[in-house]
Each structure stands twice: as structure tokens, then as C-alpha cells.
Amino acid sequence: MGPTTAGVLQALALIGALAVAHVPLGNHMARVYSSDRHWRVEKWIYKGIGADPDTQMRWTAYLRGVLAFSVAGVLFLYLLQRLQGVLPGSLGFDAVAPAQAFNTAASFVANTNWQSYSGEQTMGHVVQTAGLAVQNFVSAAVGMAVAVALVRGFARTRGGELGNFWSDLVRGVTRVLVPLAVVGALVLVACGVVQNFSGIHEVGQFMGGSQQWNGGAVASQEVIKELGTNGGGYFNANSAHPFENPTAFTNLFEVFLILLIPVALTRTFGVMAGSVRQGYAILAAMATIWVGFVALMMWTELAHHGPALQAAGGAMEGKELRFGIGGSSLFAVSTTLTSTGAVDSFHSSYTGLGGGIALLGMMLGEIAPGGVGSGLYGMLIMAVVAVFIAGLMVGRTPEYLGKKIGPREIKLAAVYILITPALVLVFTALSLALPTPPHSMLNPGAHGFSEVLYAFTSAANNNGSAFAGLNANTDWFNTTTGLAMLLGRFLPMVFVLALAGSLAGQRPVPVTAGTLRTEKPMFTGLLVGAILIIVGLTYFPALALGPLAEGLA
């Protein structure tokens, strides 16, 4: 079987599995976020944190809950790392340095999981499990809660209330993430992923000598890092490491976990908004972009230019033989079109155009299908913009899901779209202009520029993957990427929740003959076109200096 056929068959198997899970999981999440009943364990949690889960919140109160919880998470995770040297199960590792501890705390709370350290050489068992793994659950639940709040903004009328943040947060963990993570971890353990609390031991090497390896609760952290579109890795080699991802089957299963909840959330959106067809329209836009990117990535990496690539059957540099080009391309596209950041190959070793495709996937805002929660609310923001553009074309006040898109709504959507590019381009320019940071660049020219651009695109979009040729473990990069992650995560949430509050306070507009049918293929095409044009106009000059210049050289 050739590499092209293998890649296509893997993609088809993945699409089939997602199609089977889409309806039942989407319906389940709609019931979870619409139920008035609380589980006993949830009542204990509410009592412990002093929250009333039945209080309906306006968008300002909902935002305060999001920010308060996230600030507490950053402080807790920072202190846990700084105290690592005196904690049990530290494996002899010292406290994490202040700048790196801040960067890691910001990264995991912001659902980014950017890592400027080697996990097996820096973090002990307590920090990995009680710190990083816990944040993998709750940061994903925060994104889901904000997405559900925006959906309620479209579905509710006049009241301006978006639900209860604490209830949405807890239910997302107890009823969605934990059950799926338990099942997924059992599958990974059965397939050979490590799950233990062993200490450090010496392992012999084929060429003589030895190196140190430590075990850990890898399977349980691996499953939630993919399921919650977190990223990161227990080991420095990430999902290319055989302890995290041993076979071609586990590789495909992990891609399935990455895409599972973002795809199913479109069904949740359709059910809660009262029109399943609206959810399918959003899913169709996401799927169109994903399929296009997968096809382009496989084409660029399978192109046989030169004798070395011909002998290898494609661009195999930086890729694991057990995954091949097809599995690596699926993983790379899925991880950069969601806010996952896990990698099973080195994106820096992809062809110039292949690396540009991964970079462009993040620049789209990771909305196809996007991160857990963030993908859905990002796509809905783009849908609002597409409706506004259509309204300008026909001279009619734009409407979406029965809500008018007026000046306030479009301003909130526009600011949301501009925040991330501003963070990416400003921090990239500063890093290249200042005299010290360029010493972190191991490659000159267009590829070196792409590495810095990729780093801040990954940070500000809360992805977490890296081009792997940049030494980011410096005070400058630890601080600036940490700020980019926090601002790129929580500033957009401010405008998402403000938009949700504005929509929830409106009366529904009756459907007329002039209403744009947003559940039709024509609107899906308009939405995809608007996304590609907006991103292209925003980032094309930067892409031209980096991956395009390298790929066309």
C-alpha cells in the first residue's frame, strides 16, 4: 500500500468515526448544559467553593467568574512549580525557575500547553498530575462554558442572562470530560501507553552507554491533553514518544480525540439554538477547511522533489516511520486547526509550504473545528461577520438566528478578530527588532523568521505547538509568550461574552422572505470565503516573508 492510499484510508476512517460519535455526544452535551438537576458530587463541589449553581448570570457576572477562576489557577500552578523541590514525588527535581514557572502556569491555564522545558527532566509526579493534568480538565471546561454562554445568547430572549458559570464549569468536567477521559485512557493503556508512578531508572542504548527514563501517569494525561485540545506532552518528544503514542492505531485514535468534542459541539449548538440544520451548516464550514488543509498538507509532503525525497517516498524528515506521511499530516493539520499543540512530528522539518499550512491553520483562529469551546465561539463570531457582509451586499439589516446584528454586535466581533493578529505581529516584530532574542534563533533567513512567527502565532492562538528550531527557554520568550497566551485567551472571551449578553437581551426577529437562510450551502460557502479572505489580508505579508519565501525558493 502506497503512502497516499494509506493517508486517504486513515482520513476516511477518522471521518467515519467522528460521524458516528457526532450526534450522540452532541445531544448529550446539549442535555448536560440544559439540565436543572445537579449530581450529588457536583453539589459537594458547589458547597466547597461557595457557589450557587442556580443563580442566572448576566455577561459581566459570567466574565467575573471566568477571570476569577483562571487567576486562581495561574497562582496555584505557579506556586506548585516553585515549591516542587519540597513536594513528595518530585523525582529529585528542583523548583522551576520563576520565568519558566510563570510561562507554564499561563500556558496550562490558558489551554495552550506551550512547553519551554523537557517534561521528563523538569516536572515531578505531583506537578504533572495535581497541576498540569488538572488544568487540562478545567481549562477545557472553561472554553466549553464560554461557548455555551454564546449559544444561549442566540437562543434566549430579552432577559440578558447566560446561565451560571460555576454550573457550566463543573458539569463540563464531571459529565463530559472525565467520563470520556476514563474510557480513552483505558484504550491507550490497552494499546501500550505508560501509566504508572515509577521513579527514574537507567536504560541501556543500542550503541552503548545509557540514559535516564522515568515513568508517570502518561495515559491519563495523554487522553485529556488531546480530548481537551490542550496539547503539551509528558515527555519532550510529545506524541512522537513511544510511551505516549506507540502505534499507528494510537496515533489515529489521538487525532480522533482531538477532533471529537469540537465536532460534536456543532450538534450541541444546533440543538440548543432550536435548529439542528444551523449546526450542520457550521460543521460543513469547519469540515471544508479541514479537508482542504489535509489534502494540501499530504500533497506538499508527498511531492517527490529531489533524489532523497524520491528514495524515502516523500518528505520523511522529522516524521516517525510508524506513522508515515499520512498519519503525520493528519495529526499536524488537526492539531493546528484546533488549539491542541500536541505533535507527532517536528513541524520545523516539514517542507516550506507544509510548515506554512500548519502556520496558516493557527492563523485562521483554530476554528476548523477549533479548540474545545473556542472553536465553536470563534466560528460563530465569523458567522456574524459573514452575515454582516451579506447584509451590506443587499442593503438589509443583517440577522443571524433571529437576532439583529447591529453596530454594537459587529464592533464586538471586529475587535475579537483583531486581537490575536495584533498580539502575534507586535510580539514577532519586537522579538526580531531587539538585539538579544535573535540569539535564540538557530536558523537564519526565512526559516528563522518562520520559527519566531510560529511561536507567537501558537501562543496567542493558544495552540502550544512549536517549530522546534527556536530556543524559547529564555526570560524574553518565557515572559512574552506567557503574556501572549493570557491575552490571547481571555481578551477574546471578554468580547464573546459581551456579544452573548447583547444578543440575549434582544427580541427575536421574525423570519421573512428577505431573511438570509444561514442553514443553506450558499451561506457555508460565504462563511468559508470570509474566513480565508480576512485571514489572508491580515497575515499575507508575514507569510510572504517566511514560509512562502522558503517554499518558493
From 97, 130, 61, select the one nearest 479 (Cα to Cα).
Answer: 97
Identify whether 145 is part of a domain.
Answer: no
Amino acid letter, residue 136: N
Cβ–Cβ under 8 Å, residues 514 and 278: no
Identify whether 11 is part of a domain.
Answer: no
Confidence (pLDDT) at 309: 60
Give the pLDDT band of residue 544 (cuts 50, 70, 90).
confident
Identify whether 501 is part of a domain.
Answer: yes
Confidence (pLDDT) at 392: 84
Confidence (pLDDT) at 310: 58
- 345 three-state secondary structure: strand
From 422, 427, 531, select the one nearest 472 (Cα to Cα).
Answer: 427
Identify whether 22 is part of a domain.
Answer: no
Provide the domain count of the chain.
1
Identify whether 161 is part of a domain.
Answer: no
Amino acid letter, residue 289: I
Identify whether 61 is part of a domain.
Answer: no
Lowest mean pLDDT among 226-235, 245-254, 452-461: 226-235
Identify whether 228 is part of a domain.
Answer: no
Confidence (pLDDT) at 280: 96
Confidence (pLDDT) at 86: 87
Whether the pLDDT of residue 306 is over 60: the answer is: no
Q: Please give the mean pLDDT across all residues of the chain.
A: 89
Q: Which grid cell is 457?
A: 502565532
204 beta partners: 210
Identify whether 502 is part of a domain.
Answer: yes
State residue 214 phi and psi, 5-degree precision: -125, 150
C-alpha span between 10 and 5 (Å, rounded): 9
C-alpha span between 179 and 255 (Å, rounded): 18
| Residue ranges making up the domain that contains 393 | 372-552
Lowest mean pLDDT among 74-83, 112-121, 412-421, 523-532: 112-121
Give the pLDDT band of residue 272 (cuts 50, 70, 90).
very high
- 1 three-state secondary structure: coil
